[in-house]
Amino acid sequence: MENNTVRHILVCRTKAGVTPEQFNTFIAAFRELGTKIEGITGFEYGANNSPEHLDHGMTHVIMLTFVNTAARDAYLPHPEHKKFAQWFTQLGIVEELLVIDYTPQS
């Protein structure tokens, strides 16, 4: 059986001085996209805790799971995603952001 799932990974470095409240507001709004945009089947996030020191200063990971590539492709231009992205930019809590999408392979 072919796997069509797509993982949308965001790795970020938050700016100095970002409060837990600011970050939690951001996470809550991001999580809420799953209730507004069809095809999102999962949301996870966490703070970096790797002891390897290969993180290039990145502090957090956020992962959305989509049912398939078409769902991910529909998410990107979706009005709710665009609204979130504009708000997120204005929030100004992230210094650097890396986005990678992939289809899991075993």
Domain positions in the chain are 11-100
Query: Which CATH topology does 11-100 take?
Result: Alpha-Beta Plaits (3.30.70)
Segment 41-82, tens digit of pLDDT: 999 999 999 999 999 999 999 999 999 999 999 999 999 999
Q: Which residues contact 23 (CB under 8 A, 6 or more apart)?
A: 14, 60, 93
Q: What span, in angstroms and rounded, lies between the C-alpha atoms of 53 and 66?
A: 30
Q: What span, in angstroms and rounded, lies between the C-alpha atoms of 58 and 7?
A: 19
pLDDT at 97 over 80: yes
Q: What span, in angstroms and rounded, lies between the C-alpha atoms of 31 and 10?
A: 13
pLDDT at 40 over 90: yes
pLDDT at 1 over 60: no
Count the neighbouring beta carbons within 10 Å of the beta carbon of residue 87: 11
pLDDT at 23 over 80: yes
Q: Whole-model pTM?
A: 0.92
- Give burial (CB, 10 Å; 0-12/13-18/19+) of 66: buried
Average of pLDDT values for 73-101? 97
Q: What span, in angstroms and rounded, lies between the C-alpha atoms of 51 and 44?
A: 21
